[in-house]
């Protein structure tokens, strides 16, 4: 069975919610980022979203934009991102890793070799922000054929009519974007989230994770009460940014401060 399905099933059996953490691969440098990555499961992450840095992250707010640029300036590229996953898998066989990013770096890799390399490295799924269902034949279907889950974003603007198309080829889990906006900018409204998650769950048996505006343990807890999982990204990435020295380099605080926040968020969520 796929790692994502296994994790969500195990959590459901224990009546627990999935804590999904997002960091950008290579932020602030490949070695530090790998250390954070390896520490995430121990700090409470059930699923890891690993951002593939892109020069033009159109759906992201300032925090993740800057994380992408830090990683790129430090020399991160797709090959290094896949190498991080490979290194992670040497010691962790169970925590699912979903690569999240934009289509262009995959397109020029190109697609077929990328999918093969991702599977070989131990990637479980993909979230590609700018590859809508309309482009399924060129990315989503080949990814599923290669054995990867393709996790789709649904948003407050996805009406009932579109929801069918969006869910059609989704696998692993459904990512509900809790706000109309870019990552990390607004706080989600719990009532609206609850309503929309219910709307999605009426149409699919897949678990639904909610993200884009969740920053605090309290928010994580309340969102978890209405969904199967909670995604936190910008808050982690901001913590990385705050730990850097004035030249933007990692300090001894970088890894520990992120993992401490992950522990706090995880504790908040488990109290749900």
Partner 1 sequence: MDPIAETPLHLNSYRTGPDERGHFGLYGGRFVAETLMPLILELEAAYEAAKIDPAFHAELADLNAHYAGRPSPLYFAERLTQHLGGAKVYFKREELNHTGSHKVNNCLGQILLAKRMGKKRIIAETGAGQHGVATATVAARFGLPCVIYMGATDIERQKPNVFRMRLLGAEVRPVISGTGTLKDAMNEALRDWVSNVEDTFYIIGTVAGPHPYPAMVRDFQAVIGQETREQMLAAEGRLPDTLVAAIGGGSNAMGIFHPFLDDPSVKMFGVEAAGRGLDVPNGHCASLNGGKPGVLHGNRTYLLQDGDGQILEGHSISAGLDYPGIGPEHSWLRDTGRVTYVSATDREALDAFQLCTRIEGIIPALEPAHALAYVTKLAPTLPPDDLLVMNMSGRGDKDIFAVAGHLGMDI
Catalytic residues: 49, 60
Instruction: Report in angstroms how near the CB of residue 142 gets to partner 1 at its nearest.
Output: 10
Q: Which of 106, 151, 237, 269 binds partner 1 (CB under 8 A)?
A: 106
15: exposed, middle or buried (Cβ count in 10 Å: 0-12, 13-18, 19+)? exposed
Which CB sits closer to partner 1, 109 or 263? 109
Closest CB to partner 1 among 112 and 245?
112
Q: How far is the CB of 153 from partner 1 (least distance, A)?
A: 5
Say if residue 181 is exposed, middle or buried (CB neighbours under 10 Å; 0-12, 13-18, 19+). Answer: middle
Instruction: Decide whether 111 or 190 has the Cβ nearer to partner 1.
Output: 111
> Considering only 2-10, 20-28, 124-132, 247-255, which stretch makes contact with partner 1 by CB under 8 A?
124-132
Q: Where are the alpha helices (DSSP H) in the chain?
A: 3-13, 30-43, 62-73, 78-91, 103-108, 111-121, 140-146, 160-168, 190-201, 217-224, 234-243, 252-270
Q: Which of 61, 76, 74, 101 is nearest to 215 (CA)?
A: 61
Residue count at the site for partner 1 (CB under 8 A)? 42
Which parts of 153-182 interact with partner 1 (CB under 8 A)? 153-159, 162, 166, 177, 180-182
**204 three-state secondary structure:** coil
37-96 residues in contact with partner 1 (CB under 8 A) are 54-59, 61-62, 65, 72, 77-78
How far apart CA 122 and CA 28 sit, in angstroms, is: 23
| Collapsed DSSP state (helix, strand, coil) of residue 9 | helix
Q: Which is nearer to partner 1, 94 or 104 (CB)?
A: 104
- Residue (102 or 150) nearer to partner 1, CB: 102
As measured in angstroms, the least distance from the Cβ of 112 to partner 1 is 9
105 scored as a contact of partner 1 (CB under 8 A): yes
- Shortest distance in whole angstroms from residue 155 CB to partner 1: 4
Among 87, 119, 129, 267, binds partner 1 (CB under 8 A): 129
253 binds partner 1 (CB under 8 A): no
Measured from the CB atom, the residue of 77 and 263 that comes closer to partner 1 is 77
Say how many residues make up the chain: 272
What is the rounded CA–CA span in Å between residue 47 and residue 21?
Answer: 7
Whether 185 contacts 161, CB under 8 Å: no
* Closest separation in Å from C-beta 79 to partner 1: 8
SS3 146: helix
Q: How far does CA 79 lie from the centroid of its chain?
A: 19
Yes or no: say if 74 and 24 are a contact pair by the CB < 8 Å rule.
no
- Give yes or no for residue 208 binding partner 1 (CB under 8 A): no
Does residue number 117 form part of the binding site for partner 1 (CB under 8 A)?
Answer: no
Residues that bind partner 1 (CB under 8 A): 54-59, 61-62, 65, 72, 77-78, 102-109, 129-132, 134-135, 152-159, 162, 166, 177, 180-182, 185-186
């Amino acid at each position: 069975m796929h790692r994502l399905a296994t994790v969500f099933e195990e959590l459901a059996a224990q009546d627990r919610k999935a804590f999904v953490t997002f960091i950008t691969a290579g932020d602030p440098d490949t070695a530090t980022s790998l250390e954070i990555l390896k520490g995430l499961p121990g700090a409470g992450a059930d699923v890891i979203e690993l951002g593939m840095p892109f020069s033009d992250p159109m759906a992201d707010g300032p925090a993740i934009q800057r994380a992408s640029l830090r990683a790129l300036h430090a020399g991160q590229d797709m090959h290094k991102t896949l190498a991080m996953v490979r290194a992670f898998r040497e010691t962790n066989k169970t925590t699912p890793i979903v690569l999240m990013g934009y289509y262009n770096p995959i397109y020029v890799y190109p697609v077929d070799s990328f999918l093969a390399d991702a599977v070989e490295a131990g990637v479980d799924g993909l979230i590609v922000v700018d590859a809508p269902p309309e482009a399924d034949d060129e990315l989503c279907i080949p990814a599923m054929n290669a054995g990867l889950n393709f996790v789709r974003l649904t948003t407050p603007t996805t009406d009932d009519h579109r929801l069918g198309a969006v869910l059609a080829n989704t696998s692993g889990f459904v990512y509900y974007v809790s706000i109309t906006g870019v990552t990390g900018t607004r706080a989600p409204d719990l009532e609206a989230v609850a309503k929309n998650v219910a709307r999605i769950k009426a149409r699919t048996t897949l678990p639904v994770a909610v993200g884009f505006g969740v920053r605090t343990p309290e928010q994580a807890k309340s969102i978890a009460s209405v969904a199967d999982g909670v995604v936190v990204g910008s808050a982690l990435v901001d913590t990385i940014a705050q730990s850097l020295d004035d030249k933007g380099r990692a300090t001894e605080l970088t890894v520990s401060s992120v993992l401490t926040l992950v522990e706090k968020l995880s504790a908040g969520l488990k109290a749900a």
